[in-house]
């Protein structure tokens, strides 16, 4: 898992506010969210585009939902891990996808949209990972 430093804690707060802004359909909310999460994927092969698509799907799923910033923090953290982690195993990625889906559903997102976002978490991880499968994972 990526290390959550003090600056990351501040950025998670920013991402939570971005999530609330997209829910309130603030015109700049989607771009702010995309900017705040995609920079973690810089230098990867397609990670920035995948992260921007994750932000787009999140914005679409959360549009019109009402929640407090604190309620968005788990989604912000999961999105951050999805983009910032470079060494997750296949099982950890699957768990991350399940976490995203359940966190979004807790905010009132329907199953289909939550699954779409969760699927994109897997795409993001595939693009940003630096981890090679171990020999025992290939069996």
pLDDT at 136: 53
Mean pLDDT of 114-137: 81
1 pLDDT tier (thresholds 50, 70, 90): low
Give the predicted TM-score (pTM) of the model: 0.87
Task: Tell me which residue of 85, 38, 42 sits closest to 58, measured CA to CA.
Answer: 38
**Rounded CA gap, 79 and 107, in Å?**
15
Q: Is the dihedral of CA 34, 113, 105, 66 positive or negative?
A: positive
**Rounded CA gap, 96 and 33, in Å?**
19
Mean pLDDT of 27-44: 89
% of residues, the chain, pLDDT over 90: 68
In the predicted structure, residue 138 carries a pLDDT above the cut 60: no
């Amino acid at each position: 898992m990526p290390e959550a430093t003090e600056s990351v804690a501040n950025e998670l707060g920013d991402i939570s506010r971005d999530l609330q802004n997209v829910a309130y359909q603030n015109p700049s909310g989607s771009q702010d969210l995309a900017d705040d999460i995609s920079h973690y994927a810089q230098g990867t092969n397609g990670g920035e585009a995948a992260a921007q698509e994750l932000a787009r799907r999140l914005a679409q799923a959360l549009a019109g939902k009402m929640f407090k910033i604190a309620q968005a923090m788990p989604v912000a953290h999961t999105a951050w891990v999805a983009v910032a982690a470079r060494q997750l195993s296949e099982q950890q990625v699957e768990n991350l996808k399940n976490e995203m889906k359940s966190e979004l559903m807790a905010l009132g997102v329907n199953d289909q949209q939550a699954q779409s976002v969760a699927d994109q978490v897997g795409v993001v991880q595939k693009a940003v990972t630096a981890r090679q499968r171990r020999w025992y994972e290939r069996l």
